[in-house]
Structures are given as C-alpha cells and as structure tokens.
Chain A
Amino acid sequence: MLNHLQATPTPPKRCLVVGAGGFIGSSIVEALTAARVPVLGLTREDVDLLSGDGVPKLAAHLAPTDAVIFAAAVAPTRSASQLVDNLRMAETAIAAFARTPPAHLLYLSSDAVYGENGAPLTETSPVAPSSLHGMMHAARELMFRSSVKAPFAALRPALIYGAADPHAAYGPNRFRRQAAAGEPISLFGEGEEKRDHVAVEDVADLAVRMVLHRSIGILNAATGVATSFRTVAELIARQHEPPASVVAVPRSAPPPRPLHRFFDIAACHKAFPDFHFEPLERGLARVHRACRSRAGEVARG
C-alpha cells in the first residue's frame, strides 16, 4: 500500500536520479523533465558506487531538500558477485545518505521479490524471492528502509519493455530484436507462461507521481493484464512485413510452477486514480514505431 505525504502533487526542489544512465533511470529523467521537476541525473561516470570514493562523491551531490530516486543496479543479477556488488552499491548510497539524508527516497525494485504461490500478487504478498535478482532487490529495499532517515517508498515493476532496453531478456525486448534481425522469434516451449508486461514509460510516470506526492510504502508497477509469451511474440511478429515466424524451442528445464503470474492492481487505482497503463498491444506498436524511426535515423546518419 502507498500513502501520500503530499495529497496535492508538489515538485521537490530537485530530484536526484541515481542510475540515470540506465534503461529505467533515463526514462525517469525524461519523465521528470517533462513534469518540470528540476533533475540531476547521476550516471556511473559521475559517481561509481563501487569505487572507493563513491560515498563522498555521491554525498557531494546531495542536498537535504532532494527527492532521490535510486535506480542504479547491476542487472540482471545472475551471479553471487553481481549480488554482492549490488549490495555494496546500496551500502555506498546509504553511507552518503547518512551524511545528508534526502527529503524522500524512492527505490526502483522489482516484482522478483515476491514468492510464487499462484495468487494474484498485491503489495501485501509475501516477499520470498526465488532468484538472486529478487533477493538483491528485497535486500536493498530492506537496507534502504531500515538505514536511511527519510520517507521511503519502493516501486516494484513487473516485466518492463521499451525501445531503449539494453538487455534483450526473454520477452518483448528479445522478440523485437529477433524479428528486426529477420530471425524467427523463439519461444521456450509453447511460450504459454502469462506475464504482466509494463512499458518503461508507465514505470517512469508512476515514479514521478510518487515523487510529486512524496509517497511512502510499496507500489507494484503492473498493468493487471497477464499475457502469454506466445501472444506477445505473435503481436510483434505481425508488426513486420512479411510477419516474423514464431518457433517453439524445446525447454531445457521444466516450465515454471506456477506457470503464470497475475497482479491485482487495486492499490494502484487507489493511489493514483487517474493513472492508467498503456495496453500492451498499443505499447508494443509504439515501441516498434520508435525502433523503426531510430533505425531510419541510424541509416540516414
């Protein structure tokens, strides 16, 4: 559940985005700028949270009136060393925040923190991660919440897609790349798992709203609509002429159990009644247009 310390949306004096060079962080900087919130975006080049001078460098940028969005991570977290690095980054930030506590802290987390019991996920679902990535976010949430003397909120997005996604993880982003390269879109098994896919622009919009309301608590960034990977693949395949082929690749491991992941998004309706997520089909079409336009620019350049 989310509570707003400011019922009326009011911009902070400045919003500091840590991890502004990343996929989500850069979208948040764009959204804050569009909302006329003064922004300072910090990338790894500005402050390396894993270097010895990370604490003083970050602290030097901080002001007590800042709202801070922490979106920096080594992602996805697949190894023990990546997990430890991510925790060290949080440790550095916490040490800097101890010197200058911000006015508000928003942590960009993940729905990977939740366990898998098959029930529609809500913000009160048990945190029981089954992956290093989920454990990393759960641990960092706890580190920030317990150590930073500032109103704290966490935003837990479901699977994020967007034109600028650099990871090509299984799902819309990989499917789009495969189709654009003229390759078949490959599915694990029949791609029957249903997941909640959310546009990065919607995640950024929610982050901005949470900053403007100085929200505290937890909010999931999920659309409430779960779509199978096969449906996503077919939507993307049809964006191309001729349509890309979609092929089933035998699974190397058993399908996940439970197979699907649903969200109950009533808390989002309650927190931000006038906010609505972009429907997946429309969002994928928008991303396709953006990618084609970008490819055209590259070709012309």
Chain B
Amino acid sequence: MSPTVGYAGMTHLGLCSAAAAAAKGFSVLAFDPDPALVARLAARDLCVREPQLVELLAVHGGRIAFTADPDTLRRCDLVYVAQDVATDACGGSDLVAVSALIKRVASAARDDAVVVVLSQVPPGFTRAHQQADRPLYYQVETLVFGRAVERALSPERIIIGSPDPAAPLPKAFAAFLAAFACPVLPMRLESAECAKIAVNCCLAASIATADTLAELCERIGADWSEIAPALRLDRRIGRFAYLTPGLGIAGGNIERDLATVVSLSGEHGTEAGIIRAIVANGRHRRDWPLRTLHAELLARAPDAEIAVLGLAYKENTDSVKNAPAVDLIRHLTRWPLRVYDPVVPVSAAPHPSVIAARSALDAAAGADALAIMTPWPEFRELAPVALATIMRGKLVLDPYGVLDGGAAADAGLDYRTLGRTRVC
C-alpha cells in the first residue's frame, strides 16, 4: 500500500518537496504550526516563487491536505521535518525552530511512523536528536532556488543518513524513495550530513575558481566566456559545473555550509583555509559593481542617477538573501535610484528614496549608469540601442553578461561585464 507522507514546515523546502511527493502519486499531509500560512497555502496563495510550482499544485494539489493541526500527522506513515533553517549574515544557522519542530512531530506521529529530517542541519545534529523509542533518519535536500521543483521531482541520487546504515530502510520509507527511480545511498548520519556540505563546498570551489579567473581575464585580455565551454567538455569538470562568473556566493545555502565547515574546523582543529579563502574571494567579487561605479562614474559625477535591474539573488526566485543587488543599493543611498525587478517588490531595496520603475527601460530612462544585477530572462531581451537612447549616460554594468557585449559597445554604451576586459 502506498504510504501517506507528511511534511512539517511549509517554507520553501517543505512546500516544494510536498508538491513533488504529490506529483509522484502519494497522499500528502502538509503541516505548519502557523494557521494563517496554512490558510494561504490552502487557497493557493503561495509565499514561495518557483518555476512549475503553481502548475504542479494545480494538477496534483488535490492529493495535498494543508493543516495546522499536528494531530493529523497520525495519518502519516512517513513524516519529513522540512522546515528551512534560517541563517544570519555570516551563514550561521538558527536551529532552535527545527529542534522544536522535531519534538512536535515526534510526539504527534504514530509510533510506527518513520520520521526523517530534511532540514539543513549540521553534522551531529540528527544523532543528537535521536528519540529513545524511534530512530530518526536524515535525508540530504538538494533543492536549488529557481529549480526546486525540477530537483525535487528528479533527484540524481538520494542520500540517506541512518542510525544503522547496514539495516534495511523501513518499508514505507523505501517504498516512497523508490518512486524517484534514482540511486539511494544509505550511510552514517554524520556522513550524510557532511555529504550535503561536501556538495556545496565543491560548488563553492567551482564558483570561486570561476570568479578568480574571471577577474584575472578582465586584466589580461582573456575572455572567460571562451574558456568556460572548454572546461565543461572536460569530463573531470563536467557540463553542469558552476563555471559562470558571478558576484561571489549568494542565496544563503552555500554560505551556511561554508560557515559550518569553518566552525567545525575551529572546534576540531582541522585546517580549513581554502574555505576561508572562498569566502574572502566571494566578498571581494561581490563589491565589483560598487568599485566599478565609483571608479568609472561617481568619482567625477557626484550627481549621477543610477538604475538597478534586478533585486533577487538570481533569476527565477524572489529570494533576496545575500543578494548582490541589495548589498550594492545599501551603499548607494546618496544617489537617486530607480529599480526594477520582475518579481521582487522595490521595498526590498534598502534606499530611502528609491523609485519603483514599471519596466527595465523605465528604470534606465535618464540614468547615468545602469547595473543589471540579476540575470532575469526578460533582461536578455533588452536592446542595447534602446538603452543607449533612453539613458543619459553610457555606463552599463552587466556582471552576468545578459546583454550582447559587442552590440552594447556598437550602440555606444560603456559596457562592463565579468570575465573580459572592457568591450570597446
């Protein structure tokens, strides 16, 4: 018989995971202690923006029951504790809420139900929360903002932390995982918790490598966009490697795991200089737009007007966690600013007199400089000639290269992007 699956904690992780479980045909119970949030979700007023999520819920939402009543978890054969763990500005985790939720789920679930921690917890956490009468499992979440539904539906593998990795997984748990038709890797709890960190450290190393070499390319006449495809064809690196240069690391998840490694290495006396270097490199690259704006414009034009396109930390999400745009705007409060983001409200911009533009071109109108801080697909449609016509100045910062640099230069724009020298 198909197990009934519960998800506790209806933040980004819980909601996307619950939707994916429903899409796989399971009966899903989606619990959150906040009745107002549950009412919104039941009315399909989603607090999370993810491609395909609305469509997925429209088709499969009938199999999901949203509830604020923990007692209903007794219907579940398998319950995931799936609340996102909040982080501070330094990547430190606040584990109080997830600890409380585990206790709540454990006391509400049936004695024979399997409880699994899906939240982002550090090594040692799941073992420290083992119950006397029921093993607590851990599953690595690998959601990616902007691709969460795709990743939840089609994981490349599932990593399970078990108190006894040699023992077979409980039937309900195994039956549920089998629906995803991918390798399942049981391992020690600490190994699984560390595996998630290892994934993110590898990603961070790729990001920092790309960012480091992109900056060098900017100074030596090379073009990183010519180099990255060659790396993707190298089997040891791979076509999906994080090689697109950016403004350091944002979003909160990778930063969390880097902070955890630094913290654990300090606790256990291991060497983690490479992780500190990655963090330092990210901070340095994050300030590229600020340094460039000052060097190329603000030092000689104190009355400049600036336009920013994009607030989200990346495309296809409304998250502004550690977003480079927000960080930039925080230091531009002396200058008039117009902002446009297709999704994020302008109230997310920390600027006392920011003007909300109706469109990208509306934001650029009359600006002395334009910074394209999120690579939203719609910004790729902007015609450099239109920008050159509507802007007062010519400086365009396009860190992610959403515009055609050559066309921008041909249009007379002073075009700056990551990974290549100034395009003239």
Contact = CB atoms under 8 A, between A and B. Distances in A.
A276 B334 CA distance: 14
Interface in A63-105: none
Interface string B323-337: 000000001111000
Interface string B250-284: 00000000000000000000000000000010001
B334 A265 contact: no
A118 interface: no
A270 B302 contact: no
Contact of A269 (B280, B294, B302): B294
B147 interface: no
Interface residues of A, number: 14
Task: Indicate the member of A122, A265, A269, A270 with the most B CB atoms within 10 Å.
Answer: A269
Contacts of A266: 284, 287, 290-291
A243 interface: no
B298 interface: yes
B331 A224 contact: no
Interface string B299-340: 100100000000000000000000000000001111000000
Contacts of B334: 273-274
Given A274-B302, A276-B294, A269 B331 contact: yes
Interface string A215-249: 00000000010000000000000000000000000
A264 B331 contact: no
Contacts, number: 32
A228 B332 CA distance: 32
B295 interface: yes
B308 to A, nearest CB: 15
A224 B333 contact: no
A262 to B, nearest CB: 11
A276 B299 contact: yes
Contact of B287 (A264, A273, A276, A277): A264
Nearest to B215: A120
Chain B, interface size category, equals 10 to 19
Contacts of B302: 274
A270 B331 contact: yes
Interface in A112-161: 119-120, 122, 124
Interface string A249-288: 0000000000000001110011001101100000000000
Contacts of B333: 273
Contacts of A122: 284
A151 B166 CA distance: 59
B295 A224 contact: yes
A124 B276 CA distance: 12
A156 B298 CA distance: 24
B332 A273 contact: yes
B284 A273 contact: no
Contacts of A273: 298, 331-334
Interface in B58-110: none
B180 to A, nearest CB: 44
A170 B225 CA distance: 42
Nearest to B327: A270
Given A273-B334, A274-B302, A264 B284 contact: yes
B353 to A, nearest CB: 15
A83 to B, nearest CB: 31
Nearest to A278: B299
A277 B291 CA distance: 13
Contacts of A119: 280
B197 to A, nearest CB: 24
B283 to A, nearest CB: 8
Nearest to B294: A269
24 contacts: A119-B280, A120-B284, A124-B280, A224-B291, A264-B284, A264-B287, A265-B291, A266-B284, A266-B287, A266-B290, A266-B291, A269-B287, A269-B331, A270-B290, A270-B331, A273-B298, A273-B331, A273-B332, A273-B333, A273-B334, A274-B302, A274-B334, A276-B294, A276-B298
Interface of B: 280, 284, 287, 290-291, 294-295, 298-299, 302, 331-334
Given A224-B291, A224-B295, A266-B284, 11 more contacts: A120-B284, A124-B280, A264-B291, A265-B291, A266-B287, A266-B291, A270-B290, A273-B331, A274-B334, A276-B299, A277-B299
